[in-house]
């Protein structure tokens, strides 16, 4: 359930979930290029408590919204013959083939190959490309997950991951459901250098040992991926 409230003149979008704590994030949208204020809230929390929480983050909100507003709007994506699409940090051309059946996208021989009705709307082409990115990302991540599971000895500690998926996310690179031991990755990672995927994957796996971002968590990150801060910086500025 989602609702919208005005708090000190700012529109705030609130989604109620079965969680214990309030969470705030900014999501850049066409109607809110400065970043819409999105709140995840426990089911029975009062509006007064939510307003108090938003006010306590006012300085951070203003600072981050100023940064987001200064960023140029992303250029429209063109699904045309030869258009460049990134994979693991490199750009490759798109090849189009008219098809009414067996529509989809695959990557081969340094090129993207899209089978689709050539008069299809860009929304259709975007969905096909997004599905390809998800598949490629999961395939690569599963291989690396097996390697890191051995390095971290997850099986020996009863922490074997039970699921891995990819989807488009608006404000995070990945998430870990600790009790279910499942990981979700932002499909945009398939566009970034593979080292960025490795950083996010290790980050989420470390949450199986430590839920919070505390000294123990960062100590484990230092242990398993000593250059994780460089990778995080590169990811967030790319």
Give yes or no: residues 129 and 206 share one domain: no
100 and 175 part of one domain: no
pTM of the model as a whole? 0.76
What distance in Å separates the CA atoms of residue 10 and residue 24, rounded to the nearest whole number?
14
- Residue 78 lies inside a defined structural domain of this protein: no
pLDDT, residue 1, reads: 62
Question: Greater confidence, 74 or 59?
Answer: 59
Q: Is residue 79 part of a domain?
A: no
- Extract the tokens encoding 140: 């690569």
Asked if residue 229 and residue 167 are part of one domain, the reply reads yes
Bridge partners of 185, per DSSP, are: 166, 174
Q: Which of 1-5, 62-66, 203-207 has the lowest mean pLDDT?
A: 1-5
Residue 44 lies in a domain: yes
Domain assignment present for 77: no
Q: pLDDT digit string (tens) for 189-207?
A: 999 999 999 999 999 999 9
- pLDDT, position 212: 87
Judgement on whether residues 90 and 128 belong to the same structural domain of the protein: yes
Phi-psi region of 158 (alpha: psi -120 to 50; beta: other; left: phi over 0): left
Segment 116-130 mean pLDDT: 94
Assess whether 147 and 194 both reside in one domain.
Answer: yes
Would residue 192 count as lying in a domain? yes
pLDDT band at 38 (very low <50, low <70, confident <90, very high): very high
Q: Is 140 helix (H, G, I), strand (E, B) or coil?
A: helix
186 and 122 part of one domain:
no
My answer on whether 103 and 115 are in the same domain is: yes
Percentage above 70 pLDDT, the chain: 100
Average pLDDT over residues 65-93: 89
Whether residue 187 sits in one domain with residue 143: yes
Close Cβ partners of 195 (under 8 Å, ≥ 6 residues apart)? 231, 234
CB 54 within 8 A of CB 12: yes
Q: Kindly state whether residues 129 and 208 are assigned to the same domain.
A: no
Least confident of 31-40, 78-87, 93-102, 175-184: 31-40
Q: What is the pLDDT of residues 129-178, one digit of tens each?
A: 999 999 999 999 999 999 999 999 999 999 999 999 999 987 789 999 99
Q: Structurally, how many domains does the chain consist of?
A: 3
Which structural domain, as residue segments, surrounds residue 92?
84-133
How does the average pLDDT of the chain come out, rounded? 92
**CATH code at position 220:** 3.30.2010.10
Residues 147 and 179 in one domain: yes
Beta bridge pairs of residue 204: none
In a domain, 76, yes or no: no
Distance separating alpha carbons of residues 128 and 103, to the nearest angstrom: 8
Q: Are residues 89 and 6 in the same domain?
A: no
C-alpha torsion sign, points 46, 47, 52, 58: positive
């Amino acid at each position: 359930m989602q609702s919208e409230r005005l708090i000190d003149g700012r529109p705030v979008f609130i989604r109620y979930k079965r969680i214990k704590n309030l969470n705030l994030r900014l999501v850049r949208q066409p109607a809110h290029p400065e970043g819409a204020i999105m709140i995840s809230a426990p089911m029975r929390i009062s509006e007064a408590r939510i307003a108090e929480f938003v006010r306590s983050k006012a300085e951070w909100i203003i600072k981050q919204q100023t940064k987001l507003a200064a960023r140029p709007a992303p250029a429209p994506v063109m699904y045309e013959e030869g258009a460049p699409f990134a994979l693991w940090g490199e750009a490759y051309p798109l090849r189009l083939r008219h098809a009414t059946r067996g529509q989809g996208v695959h990557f081969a021989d340094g090129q993207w190959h899209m089978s689709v009705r050539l008069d299809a709307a860009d929304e259709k082409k975007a969905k096909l490309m997004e599905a390809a990115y998800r598949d490629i990302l999961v395939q690569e991540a599963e291989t690396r997950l097996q390697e890191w599971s051995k390095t971290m000895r997850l099986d020996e500690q009863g922490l074997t991951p039970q699921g891995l998926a990819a989807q488009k996310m608006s404000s995070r690179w990945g998430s870990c459901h600790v009790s279910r031991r499942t990981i979700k990755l932002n499909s945009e990672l398939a566009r970034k250098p593979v080292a960025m995927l490795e950083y996010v994957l290790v980050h989420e796996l470390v949450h199986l040992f430590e839920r919070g971002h505390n000294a123990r968590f960062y100590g484990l990150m230092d242990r398993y991926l000593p250059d994780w801060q460089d990778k995080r910086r590169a990811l967030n500025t790319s």
